[in-house]
Amino acid sequence: MPAKTTFPTDPRRALALAALALISVGACDRKEADAPAPIVAVKQVDPSAAFLDMAARHAGLALRESPEFATSLGVSEDIAGEGYNSRLGAYGFEGDQRARALNEEFLQELKGFDRASLSGTAAITYDVLKDAYELGARRNAFAFGGATTWGVGSPYSVTQLSGPHLFLPRLLMTQHPLDSKENVEAYLSRLGEFGRVFDEVSEALGADAALGVTPPIFAIEGAINSIGQFTASAPAQNPLVATLSEKIAGLEGLSDKERADYAARAAELVETAVYPAYARLSAALDSLREQAGGDAGVWRLGEDGAAFYQLALNSYGAGGMTGDEIHELGLSEVARITAEMDAILKAQGLEEGSASERFEAIGARPGMVYSNTDDGRQSLLSELNNQVGAVMAVTPEWFGRTPEQAVEVRRIPEYEQDSSPGGYYTGPSLDGSRPGIYWVNLKDTADWPKHTLKTLTFHEAVPGHHFQISLQRAIEDLPLIRNMMGYSEFSEGWALYAEALATEMGMYKDDSLGDLGRLQSELFRAARLVVDTGLHVKQWTREQAIDYMIAATGESRASVTREIERYAVWPGQACSYKLGMIRINALRKEAEDALGPDFDIREFHDQVLLTGSMPMPVLEKKIRAWIASKKNA
C-alpha cells in the first residue's frame, strides 16, 4: 500500500524563509561591530525536490477543483480538502474560468524550472507536465466544449458517452466510499447537488449552441435515451438508492432504523433533486435537436473543427502526422492484417468470401455464442475470470513486477449498455482498498462469440489495462499528478500490444480461432484509423463509416454503430490504440537489436510500465536512455 501523501510545502516559501534568515543576520545588533560576523549556512534547495513539490501542489489544487476526481483516486483530505467526498465540482462558466486560470498558472510555474537541472522522476515528470499543460493551453484557445487544466478531451459538453448524467451515478455507485456515517451523509449531500450541476451543464450546452457547436443528433438522442432509462423506475428503486441500501446493509454501528432512514432520505433526494435535474437536462438537450443535424465529423465546425481535430490527433500519438497520412496508414494496416487472417481461415477450410464474412461465419457456428440469458451471461463472466487466472499464472516469466491488486469482472449496468462500448476498465484506488474493474457490455451476448473473448480480457484486464494502471498507481515515488493524467496512446497502445504479447505468452497455444480473434481485434483498431479520419477529415457520413467498418471487420451492425458514434464525439482517440502499439513495438525492436543477448523482456516491460503513463516522445527518450545505460554498463 502506498504511503500516505501529504500536502507539500511550497518551494517558493522555503526560499523566502531562507532569504528572511539572511536579512535577520544583516540586521543584527551592531554594538559588537568588531566581532566577526557569524557564518550562516543556507541550505540549498535541490531543483528536483523543488520541482516535485510544485507538481504535488498542482495536484492538490486540481483535486480541490474536482472532488469527483479525488474520490475516484481515493486520496486523503490533506490533499483534496476537508469533506471533499460531500461535494461536486463546478461544471459551467465558473468551472471553465477556474480551469483556464489553473492551466496558465501551472504552465508559467513549470517554465520557471530549468529542465537540465532536473534528474530522475523529476526530469520525466517535467516532460510529461510540459506536454500536458501546453496541450491544455492550446485546447483552451477554443471557446466550445469547456476549458481544461490539461489535455484536450471532447468538443462537446454532453454526449451519449460523457457528461454528469452518466459519470456521477457511476462515481457514487462504484467509487464513493460508504464505510462510515460521515461518508453516507456525504453521499446524500452529493445527491442534493445534482440540480446545481445539471443546470450548469445545461447553461454550457446553450453557450456552445450559440457558437454553432452542438453534438450530432445521434449523440443528443443517445443522451436523452440514457436519461430516460435511468429515471424510468420509481425513485426508491433507482440504482442510486439500491446501491446505498446494499452497501450500508453490512455497515457496523448502524441500527435497522438508521439504515431505513438513510434509504428513505436517498429516495426523497432522487425524487425531489435528482430526477428533476435529469428532466431539465433532457429538455435542454431536446431543444438542440433541430440545430444538431446529422453530420458526424468535427469538420462540421468549420476551420475550428479542422484545427481541433489536428490538435486531438497530436494529443493521441500522431506525432505531427496529418489526418490524410493516418488514413493511408490505416488502409495499409487493414490490408496486412486481413492477409494474415486469410491464412488462418483457409487452414480452417474457409476459402470463399471476404475475411470478415468468413470470420463472422465462425461466430455463427453452433455453440460459439453464450445464450442471451442471465445464466448465459453468468457463464460468460465465469470464462472471463478463468482467462484472467490463466494469464496471471505465467506472468512472472514476462514481467519483473505484477499488480498486487486484484481485478474484478463485472457487467456494464443495463441503463448504460445501449450507449457504452463493448468493454472498458476502471482502475483501483490509490490506497488499494478498491480493486480494478473489467467491465463488459452484455446487452447481447451475440456481440461476443467465444473466440473473441480472450482478446478482450488481455486488453482490458491482464496483461493490458489492469497491469498498466494498477502498477502505475502502486508506484510510491510517482507524483500524484502523474496518476491524474492519462495518455491514451500509452495506455491503449500498451493494451493493444498486450493482446499480441499474449500470443508469445502461450495464451493462444492450440487455439488458432482465438488467435484469429486477436487478429480481428487488431484489424478493428487498424480500421479505426480509417474511419476516425474518414469521419473528421474525409467528411464521411455516419452511415459510410458504419458500412466500411462492418465490411472490414465483420462486426455486428449494432456494435459497430456504437463504436462509430463514439468516434464522432471523441475525435482522434480511436487512433491512439494503433499509433501507440506501433511505437511500443518499434521501441522493443530497437532495444532487442541494440542489446542482443542482454535484452530481457521482463526488464523492458518494467521500463515501459513502472514510470507511469506518458506521451510517446517521453517514453522514447526514456527507453533510449535505458538502452544506452545497458550498453555502457
Using alpha carbons, list the distances in angstroms from residue 42 to 11, 16, 25, 54, 397: 15, 12, 12, 21, 50
| Cα(192)–Cα(554) distance, integer angstroms | 46
184 neighbors 231 (Cβ within 8 angstroms): no
| Cα(236)–Cα(231) distance, integer angstroms | 11
User: Quick check: 309 pLDDT over 50?
Assistant: yes
Paired with 440 in beta bridges are 411, 423
Instruction: Kindly tell me the burial class for residue 252, based on how many C-beta atoms sit within 10 Å of its own C-beta (0-12, 13-18, 19 or more).
Output: exposed
pLDDT at 43: 59
More confident residue, 229 or 302: 229
In this predicted model, what pLDDT tens digit does every residue of 573-600 receive, in sequence order? 999 999 999 999 999 999 999 999 999 9
User: Quick check: 23 pLDDT over 60?
Assistant: no
Q: Across all residues in the chain, what is the average pLDDT?
A: 91
In this predicted model, what pLDDT tens digit does every residue of 484-513 receive, in sequence order? 998 999 999 999 999 999 999 999 999 999
141 neighbors 129 (Cβ within 8 angstroms): no
| Cα(450)–Cα(204) distance, integer angstroms | 44
In this predicted model, what pLDDT tens digit does every residue of 63-104 receive, in sequence order? 999 999 999 989 999 999 999 999 999 999 999 999 999 999
% of the chain surpassing 70 pLDDT: 93
Domain ranges of the chain: 1-27+39-75, 164-294, 309-580
**DSSP assignment of 6-33, as one string?**
-PPPPHHHHHHHHHHHHHHHHTS--TTT
- Under the banding of pLDDT at 50, 70 and 90, the label for residue 40 is low
What value does the mean pLDDT take over residues 163-184? 95
| Cα(177)–Cα(76) distance, integer angstroms | 12
pLDDT at 555: 81
| Cα(449)–Cα(563) distance, integer angstroms | 18
User: Quick check: 223 pLDDT over 90?
Assistant: yes
